Amino acid sequence: MAETSKADGGRLTTHVLDTATGRPANGLSIELYRIERQARTHLKTVVTNDDGRCDAPLLAGADFRTGEYELVFAAGDYLRRHGKLPEPAFLDSVPIRFGMAEPVHYHVPLLISPYGYSTYRGS
C-alpha cells in the first residue's frame, strides 16, 4: 500500500467503554504501533481519561500517515482494578490491527467486558 502524509488531513482517535458497568473505561493504557513489513514500531502510549477517551488524537496533522497500525489495549489491567478476575484472566491485552488508506478521520473504539470485546470503525 502506498503511504501518504497530509499535514491537515487525517487523524486517529479511540475511546473505550466498559460494557459490564455501562461506563467509560478510565485509566486504561493503550499502546499505538505502526506496522511495516510485519515489524512493529512503538509510536506512543496513552491512558484514557474519565470519559474513556484520550486527551488528544493518537495521530493528527503531520504525524498522520496512511498504512497499517495496531492498538494494544491493556484491558486486563483495567478489569483487575475494577473487579474480580480469575487468574489468568480470560482477556488481558487486546490488540486491534487495522489499516488507514486515506487521510481522513479514523475512530477505533473498544467495547470491553471481562469475557468479550468488540470494535468497529466509528465516526
Give, in order, the Cα–Cα distances in Å from 35 to each of 21, 38, 68, 111: 33, 6, 5, 23
pLDDT digits (tens, 9 = 90+) for 90-103: 999 999 999 999 99
- Phi and psi (nearest 5°) for 99? -115, 145
Per-residue pLDDT at 112 exceeds 60? yes
106 marked among binding-site residues = no
Per-residue pLDDT at 2 exceeds 50? no
15 marked among binding-site residues = yes
Give, in order, the Cα–Cα distances in Å from 9 to each of 24, 43, 105: 28, 19, 8
82 marked among binding-site residues = no
Alpha-carbon distance 13 to 58, whole Å?
6
CA geometry: angle 47, 53, 114, nearest 5 deg: 75
Q: So what's the pLDDT on residue 79?
A: 95
Pick the CATH number of 11-119 from 3.40.390.10, 2.60.40.420, 2.60.40.180, 1.10.10.1800: 2.60.40.180
Helix, strand, coil percentages for the chain (3-state, nearest 5): 10, 50, 45
pTM for the complete prediction? 0.91
Map grid coordinates 502510549 to a residue: 45
Coil, strand, or helix at residue 81?
A: helix
Confidence label for 64 from pLDDT (cuts 50, 70 and 90): very high
